[in-house]
Amino acid sequence: MRNVVIAAATVVSLMAAGGGVAFAAGSGQADPLKERKQEAAFTAAHVGQAKVSRDDAVGTAQKAHSGRVVDVHLQDEGHGLRWEVKPDDGKHVHEVQIDAQTGKIVSDQLDD
């Protein structure tokens, strides 16, 4: 039950903080609503498995790239559970992936 409460609070805080809104690089257009909902649902379902908190992942990404974070979610695309954090510095949106177990940056590139 505790994990469900934490997951729900995470999703709410992501949406309230604007972290649940992803923008395509350079377009100013939000990712499709269906995609954002899927990302939020995955994050809520798996946040209890992450040793690294959302806030710690955001902090790590912002050390690499300043700017407003426009998206934060958990994902697993075959490389293990990762936080994907997208800081927007006003010129570029970066996609920084942080290992959810170790807190280390495993990928850092411009968002496509």
pLDDT at 30: 61
Task: List the CATH number of the domain containing 58.
Answer: 3.10.450.40
pLDDT at 29: 52
As for how many domains the chain has, the answer is 1
Domain that holds residue 91: 2-110
Q: Which two tokens stand for residue 62?
A: 């912002």
Dihedral (Cα; 37, 42, 48, 50), 10-degree rounding: -110
Mean pLDDT by 10 residues, the chain (112 residues): 41 42 47 90 97 98 95 95 96 97 98 84
